[in-house]
Structure 1
Amino acid sequence: MEQRVIANISAARISLDAGIAESTTAETVFHAPQHPTAILNATKHLSATLTSLSAANLTATRKCNESTSEPILDNPFYMFAMAHLHMGRILCLRSLFGEALSKHFEIGAQVFPYSARLFHALGNARKSVAKSIADLDQVEDAFKQAVRISKDLALKRDSFNEKLDEQKRDLEENDENDDDDDDEDDDSWVLEASVDDEINAGRDAENALILLLIQLGRSNEAAPLLESGGYKYRLSDAVLAYSFTENSKGPWRLHDIPFVKAIDSALPDPALQYLQNAFAKDSVFWKEHYYGPDTPYFSYSHALSTPTEKEAHARSSMDQLIHYVHKLVSKLLPQVSEAKSAEWWVHSRVHSAGHQLHFDSAHEGKSGATSGDNKTKKRRMGPVHPIASCVIYLSEGCGGPTMVTNQRLGDPLADRGWMVESRVNRLVVFDGSVLHGVIPGKGVCGDARLDEGRRTSFMIAFWDHVDIKPSQDNTPGSGRPFPYNVSKDVYKWPQQHQPNTNEKWPGAVPDNLHHVIPVPLEAVWEAIGESGGAAPEKESDAIQAILTEGDLELGYSKSRLGLPNYNLVFQGF
């Protein structure tokens, strides 16, 4: 190999290592000041990698073969693939989706078609912008290719391990006679780590494929994949392949549904427009929070008891809105009137993105969390839940429904559940202690009124008490105080929430509310068996029987019985 080519490949490896390191930093310090710097540095180093490889005559027009298909970072073809993979991930961190994102993964896979990581990423990217069934066919192809590559690598793992052992023996034999530093052992570790990453990506791709098949109405094809994956239960077809036209029938009454309530036309038009403008797709809010699919949770907290409502109206339009919603929700769930604090957050996601089942809570992992004011603090074991949580939808036509179950922390798997379809200006409120989530949108996105291709929702949790957690450098995080007095030089988004000069804004809560009946689910979970996942006749009895036999393999622990092991219970998102 020419010395010039060797030098350029060596330079590419150095740049790639630096680019991956900066990319990893950017993924772990979202709300820290170094986040944008890490993104810029990663982009610079990854671009330098591609420039060096191009100088070594490796461009998108070349393609590796079997002899150059090892997933090791000293392989220039794999270097090329990983540079494009991380360039795509950087675009994700910057919330830049669409053809530019898919293009990086497509180019990488074209040159190096032996990476499960690339095909998994390509499938996810294509799914996020799919507009037709033909597009979903390409998504399916990418996931299947990732699974195939991963399984091939798993079969070759023994030969990789033999190669590693042989290299280590050679190093040990030569160590006494060789005073020079030899980084071959480091290369061996890189090979081992790369293979692990590739195999793990294949498993993730298989889970994504299972969800896709179920949502396309092909559960029979998903069944053998679920069984081979070792899953015991999964979310039912009624959940993952939801259908509001078929499941909405029945003489259901509002008092039959104690855990969740919903209404339409929840906000006066000016208040709805205020939220839609504040959280529009091009709002500075998203940019200043570095919002993307992997952004850590962040929220803002407000006191409801102090300041008084009149004082709140003088602080910000967000305070005005929260006081309005507090009154509104208290009519649906009277216990919310006792709330002393409100915490809000917001999401804007592509159609195919869901939000895994979870409990709204604070103090996770603490054995002695407290709640209440200083005079009435009560010691509680474990997490503390809000009195109620509510969602206001700012868009429609994209994304899946909200699902609420009757499962509380420490309970067996839920045997009842309800769904609410996202509609503009619809509000859903539910008991703050129950398991809930957002089901990924099935099929392709419709016409979203606010932002085409996005599901935008505004959430408020009403608490008896919640800790407000100031940040010295004003970085976003969980339970931050609303930044009333922050300088425009630090953040511009709070300027969108100046107090409305009309003291009566947003208006009085109407006496007559437009109730919506949440859609009941016949089954939340299905058992995975030889028939492909039919639910037992009495699901809760079947689960209890397993627990009675002490079969903790299902994924329960004695201390936290309500949390299924994600390795054994398939959610799909």
Structure 2
Amino acid sequence: MGKKNRPSSDSDKSTRPQKRSSSLQNDTEPHKQNQITSANDNKTDSSRCESQQQPTSNSPSALIKARVKRATASSLKDLEDVQQMLKDILSSAEEGSEEWTDAGNFLATLLLQIKVDSSSSCDESGTKTNNRHTVSQLLDERGFSYHLSRKALTHSHDTVRNPPHIYANAWDNALPSDLLQKLGEAFGPNSSFWTSHNYSDGSSGKPPSPYFSYVVPLQNEHENDDTAKANQSVLMQIIRKIQQQISINFPDVLNCTAAEWWSHCRPHCSGHQLHFDSDDEGRGGVRNPVASTVTYLSCDDTSVGGETLVTSQSSVSKKLATKGWLCSNKRNRVLAFKGNLLHGVIPGAGAQSSHKEGKRVTFMVAFWKRIHVQDKEGFGSARPFSRVENEEWAKPLVEKMVSSPGSSANKGGEGGKRCENCFFEVPVWEDVDKEKNQEYGMAIQNVTRSRVLPPYDAFFQFFS
């Protein structure tokens, strides 16, 4: 699937000034459409690592230092130091400059991700000053009218509620232990997969790597042949296990002809902008997978990394999403959602108090009835896996699972257990300045009822 297409809107005009153009990003992610409002704008492969809230390679060294400090923050003091570094940048940056824009977006994200005790008079920074106004000021000055809700950005677990099953579901202990171990060998933080692909996780100050993925065909022949199943590669056994598991919710995945897979290994504070998964960047019309999945591979400490947000908005929606569902992280949990839904990964909030060097490692698979395979040299979206299956990093994936009595990978069974209490409903958007938006008749409560969508650049997600 391959890319993210930048969201467009039903209207090219805004009732409020827009100061900066931006793109979106993502986590389960075949070709993505980076978009909030529609699926018409196209972007290139490299756009997948760009975002309205990510710095460019020209970012000043002070901003890079702040990003590195944030990526390794293990205490509240570290986060306060990052805030001060950003305030220092803003005190000297020229208004409207790239430095001024990035530092302001970064600071706004940090302030929005601080959980506020409603019984306290303190604001996001823990002081008596009005930082809620500071957030509004930072975002308003940069041309934003709306931002992701605080409940989404702080990973609020206040409302335990499953999404409708036609939208998403999740299963625990989804993969047999030996297949899970093989995935760990292939994509663990120290795996050669990352170095072989020159992967950047963003923690060094560089932007995260451009998106790349691989495609394998799904053939129905020998579907009931146990010998053929046992001789499948580890990768195909894993994909088949996931396919069978999620067919409970999405039976049409059994009719798919291809599976696109990719993986990420990111620090706690890294996120993926909201996007739609789409084939060939939406060229020739928007095509979405039947379903997309995320398998969590990180250690059992759920504090490492942010959570996936799935919203109620589809790629053909004429209205903004009003509801979203955060799915909490857990090793060997498989999240599956309808392939045309707007989704992303919220950056981890706060400091990573434990497993300081831990990474959020995920393995994604999207199931397609038809996908445009990009049979090209080099890394990119939807490359044929057959081109690289002899590479050293691919060995754990192409290995044939040894069939032996009692091997958990060759047992039948019911698969994983539908997880309980792992989804948390949150609002998706909030007004940057509710009074000002109401003055223009564009408050979020009005916009979500309307079929006229604000411009894409009016929406702030996060800087990560």
TM, length-normalised to structure 2: 0.74
Match of residue 76, structure 2, among 133, 144, 148: 133
2:175 paired residue number: 267
Tell me whether 344-353 or 331-340 shows the greater mean CA deviation: 331-340
| Structure-1 residue corresponding to 2:393 | 493
User: Residues 359, 148 of structure 1: CA spacing in aligned structure 2 closer, same or farther, 3 A cutoff?
Assistant: same
| Deviation of the 1:435 alpha carbon | 0.3
Cα gap change, 1:538 to 1:502, in 2 (>3 Å)? farther
Amino acid at match of 1:570: F
Q: Which has the higher helix share?
A: 1
* Residue 364 (structure 1) aligns with: 281
2:417 is aligned, of 497, 510, 513, to 513
| 1:380-419 alignment, distance < 5 Å | 382-395=285-298, 396-411=302-317, 412-419=319-326
User: Is the CA contact (8 Å cut-off) linking 2:179 and 2:238 kept in structure 1?
Assistant: yes
**Within-5 A mapping of 1:277-296:** 277-293=185-201, 294-296=208-210
What residue is the counterpart of 1:459 in the other structure? 364
Rounded Cα–Cα distance in structure 2 between residues aligned with 1:228 and 1:485: 47
* Cα contact 2:232–2:401 (8 A) shared by 1: no
Q: Deviation per CA, 1:186-236, whole angstroms, max 9, x where unpaired?
A: xxxxxxxxxxxxx20220111010000111232613122122222111111
Partner of 1:569: 459
Contact conserved, 1:129 with 1:453, CA < 8 A, in 2?
no
The one of 226, 250, 257 equivalent to 1:333 is: 250
2-side partners of 1:542 and 1:484: how far apart?
47
Q: Equivalent of 2:263, from 315, 325, 346?
A: 346
Aligned pair in 2 of structure 1 residues 116, 298: CA closer, same or farther (>3 Å)?
closer
Task: Quickly say closer, same or farther: Cα 1:422–1:297, change in 2 above 3 A.
Answer: same
Map Cα deviations across residues 91-150 of structure 1 (whole Å, 9 max, x no partner): xx9xxxxxxxxxxxxxxxxxxxxx972221111110011111111111111211222221
Paired AA for residue 461 in structure 1: A
Query: Match of 2:286, SS?
Result: coil
Deviation at 1:359, TM superposition (A): 0.6
Q: Which has the higher strand share?
A: 2
1:232 counterpart residue number = 145
Identity over the aligned pairs, expressed in percent? 31
What letter matches 1:281 in structure 2? P
Q: Per the alignment, in what secondary structure is the counterpart of residue 151 of structure 1?
A: coil
Asked if the contact 1:239/1:439 (under 8 Å) is kept, the reply is: yes
Amino acid at match of 2:333: R
Check 1:508–1:223 CA distance in 2 against 1; reply closer, same or farther (3 A cut): same
**What secondary structure is seen at the aligned counterpart in 1 of 2:247?**
helix
Q: What residue is the counterpart of 2:66 in the other structure?
A: 123
Q: How far 1:337 sits from its partner (Å)?
A: 2.0
Partners of 1:397 and 1:423 within 8 A in 2: no
TM-score by length of 1: 0.60
After TM superposition, give the deviation of residue 243 of structure 1 in Å.
2.2
Q: CA deviation at 1:348?
A: 0.3
Q: Write the deviation string for residues 69-99 of structure 1: whole angstroms up to 9, x where unpaired.
A: xxxxxxxxxxxxxxxxxxxxxxxx9xxxxxx
Separation of aligned partners in 1, 2:290 and 2:219:
15
Q: Which has the larger radius of gyration?
A: 1
Per-residue deviation, 1:323: 1.2
Shift of 1:338: 1.9
1:359 and 1:327 mapped to 2: Cα distance?
23
Structure 1 residues 326, 353: closer, same or farther in 2, change over 3 A? same
Gaps of at least 5 residues in structure 2 are 1-48, 50-57, 116-123, 125-130, 202-207
Contact preservation (8 Å) 2:297, 2:361: yes
Whose RCO is larger (CA < 8 A, sep 6+)? 2
One-letter amino acid matched to 2:256 = A
Q: What pairs with 1:371-382 in structure 2 (closer than 5 Å)?
A: 382=285
8 Å contact kept, 1:116–1:150: no
Q: What is residue 213 of structure 1 aligned with on the other side?
A: 111
Q: Kindly report the root-mean-square deviation, in angstroms, between the aligned alpha carbons of the 2 structures.
A: 2.9
Equivalent in 138, 155, 159 of residue 247 of structure 1: 159
Residue 502 in 1 paired to residue 403 in 2? yes
- 1:441 paired residue number: 348
Using the alignment, how far apart are the partners of 1:148 and 1:116 within structure 2? 16
Q: Secondary structure at the match of 1:222?
A: helix
Deviation of 1:401 (Å): 0.5
